[in-house]
Structure 1
């Protein structure tokens, strides 16, 4: 398959100027070390004095704006190229056309990892262009994906009842997730993108379990029971739980970077010293919140995995746990993303315990492949497990627009049953 060419982050075609060198250095540092990277660290890595850096960029925000501009420009170019190739159907199957575009998006996400991290989260900056760029939706590639999926349905590859705008949104967001190191890990970008496309299009299940069958499974019942036990710390009586509840709200409203312990203390009506004694530092408070968040997920996963159900039923129930966590505890989910932005991208999440979840999914998939319950295999079980975990979380905008039940049905129709015409 021919692959679209993606420009390297930082305008590599810019003749190797010092400005370009600074941008490339900043992109590399932020992608690997998070947004805590300082201007001094960027200047040092670029081999210049911090004062000299200001001759090229007036602030760190100016660097971030430039990185985001390049990122969106590359996404727009990929969309344009995909639409130009859409009429050329010679020796290119519908699957190839979809994955060609998917790989292009994934390559762009990897090349622009720093900008990608910024685009996943709400900006705490007052810089208007930075705020606009972080919130900008990749509408051009989403439209190109929609047109590509429509052509695939005309070719008879996709079922007639598939919600194509919804599927286009899901595929594009999944391809962008490939740019997160914790998702891609050490695997080749193209291989991960193609595998995730295949899962979304063909589905994992060898059979075609109905909604009624999945709703009545022991795993789904176990998930429902755990979800019913979740409570909001805002209703708790102890002061520490109340501080965590207020901090969640403040972090979600102001952004983690802009929220201070003093802000949290004022919102709770407690003294700053009291908050420090109850929780500790802001970083410790964040870990405390994420541990509580992770415990809710862990309880759901534990009960689902120990249920007397098939692997497909367990994967379905795990997605139901994830969807309800995102719906009920959206602040924590956004805080988790903010934590990921502040930390190296491959650092394990302190709340969700990613390494433990990864081991569980790998074991589950190995069992299902051996029994023939799952149709999709991969030489790398690590890559397959990370892909399945990523696809098991429905994007938040889809959840907000469609609701929990419709989102779960979409997960079933894609990653479990598949959307192709059989």
Structure 2
């Protein structure tokens, strides 16, 4: 009996230690990013020697895979649980709302795993890691698609896009723990997401012809037409920058080395250092070019004269949809560092955050004005709504060949502005 009890105590102790390791590693992944976290960091956070940590996990990747597996298991169980609770008998809108609420809950419970899934794993990751990141539980996918398709069938005269709606709802809810500021309430967050994409924020939105002729959309199209590649006539430097931005987009700034840039650009290391002084200088030049184009375009839209908040939001949507196609690597490389700790980040990464905060403040002003005038719906206060709108506008679709710029912009007009559910 004593031996049996001793073994049980040992098992409980080991289990508690593993849970502690997972929690500590998760906090570090959220704060520093996966690439910048080491096994020594995890051991120090737990208060054990690195050798003791390796007794429980053979690598940092093994810890991450366990986190991802736990999230994926809960997502699979969610689809089973919903069926047991009579979910399928609900109307399609109620089903979408319940899916949103439950997925937001899981996102909060598995915040570190969500952070790992939100971006591609490191290029040196194993197939096992990549599979865990990419896994989409089939049962849950079917529930999303069925609810969106049934919503379209219920409103046959409304321009519902089930594919884009499903993907947008999935991304918004699954990443809510890392993409929304402050404490997230699943009930409140899921309500805002569904109200925004199903009922729209501008129910009296002008028709397409009026929006296409608005001053903000004309300003947006003029600004976008001026986008061009950064740099001067130095073709070799352009080659270096093109290779570097691809690696920053794949790995993030912290995990990218000069050797990665050498391999990606095909330019020798000596030639690289004759044209740029450091990795930070490379990042700053790329980020500054991207930020300059975005700032000019967004400012042109915001400064355009318009009595319609909907027209201004529509033009902002146009700029962002175009930016995601024109600057795919720059968009990804900036987003990779968005939620990480600020120590050691490139100079322009910090300035970009400051610029983004100013643009967010302008967005809040537009929403406040529209709500005050009665042209925008007040589902919540403008400061709360603004981050949700930003996230909706910046959603990336996995198959851009299937979704054109025109289709994506139309989706934002019909779902985000006008709404697709009859009141």
TM-score range, shorter chain: 0.7 to 0.9
Structure 2: which 5+ runs fail to align?
1-11
Instruction: Tell me the residue number matched to 1:372.
Output: 374
**C-alpha separation between the residues in 2 aligned to 1:111 and 1:189?**
11
Indicate the RMSD between aligned Cα atoms, in angstroms: 3.0
**C-alpha separation between the residues in 2 aligned to 1:356 and 1:236?**
33
Asked if 2 retains the 8 angstrom alpha-carbon contact of 1:295 and 1:351, the reply is no
Alpha-carbon offset, residue 39 of structure 1: 1.4
Instruction: Tell me the residue number matched to 2:288.
Output: 291
Look up the SS of the partner of 1:184 in the other structure: coil
Asked if 1 retains the 8 angstrom alpha-carbon contact of 2:120 and 2:250, the reply is no
**C-alpha separation between the residues in 2 aligned to 1:72 and 1:248?**
31
Relative to 1, partners in 2 of residues 1:179 and 1:157: Cα closer, same or farther, differing over 3 Å?
A: farther
**C-alpha separation between the residues in 1 aligned to 2:292 and 2:139?**
39
Alpha-carbon offset, residue 58 of structure 1: 0.3
Equivalent of residue 104 in structure 2, options 88, 103, 106: 106
Structure 1: which 5+ runs fail to align?
1-12
Instruction: Tell me the residue number matched to 1:162.
Output: 160
Instruction: Verify: 1:142 aligned to 2:141, yes or no.
Output: yes
TM-score using structure 2 length = 0.85
Instruction: Verify: 1:120 aligned to 2:122, yes or no.
Output: no
Alpha-carbon offset, residue 55 of structure 1: 0.6
| Count of residues paired in the alignment | 404
Instruction: Tell me the residue number matched to 1:332.
Output: 330
Relative to 1, partners in 2 of residues 1:72 and 1:168: Cα closer, same or farther, differing over 3 Å?
A: same
**C-alpha separation between the residues in 1 aligned to 2:285 and 2:86?**
50
Instruction: Tell me the residue number matched to 2:404.
Output: 403
Instruction: Verify: 1:361 aligned to 2:363, yes or no.
Output: yes
More helix, by proportion: 2
Instruction: Tell me the residue number matched to 1:39.
Output: 39
**C-alpha separation between the residues in 1 aligned to 2:351 and 2:81?**
40
Alpha-carbon offset, residue 169 of structure 1: 1.6
TM-score using structure 1 length = 0.85
Instruction: Tell me the residue number matched to 2:388.
Output: 387
Relative to 1, partners in 2 of residues 1:233 and 1:70: Cα closer, same or farther, differing over 3 Å?
A: same
Instruction: Tell me the residue number matched to 1:262.
Output: 259
Answer with 1 or 2: which has the greater Rg. 2
**C-alpha separation between the residues in 2 aligned to 1:82 and 1:280?**
56
Relative to 1, partners in 2 of residues 1:102 and 1:184: Cα closer, same or farther, differing over 3 Å?
A: farther
Instruction: Verify: 1:248 aligned to 2:245, yes or no.
Output: yes
Which shows bigger deviation, 162-171 or 355-364? 162-171
Alpha-carbon offset, residue 410 of structure 1: 0.8
Relative to 1, partners in 2 of residues 1:248 and 1:212: Cα closer, same or farther, differing over 3 Å?
A: same
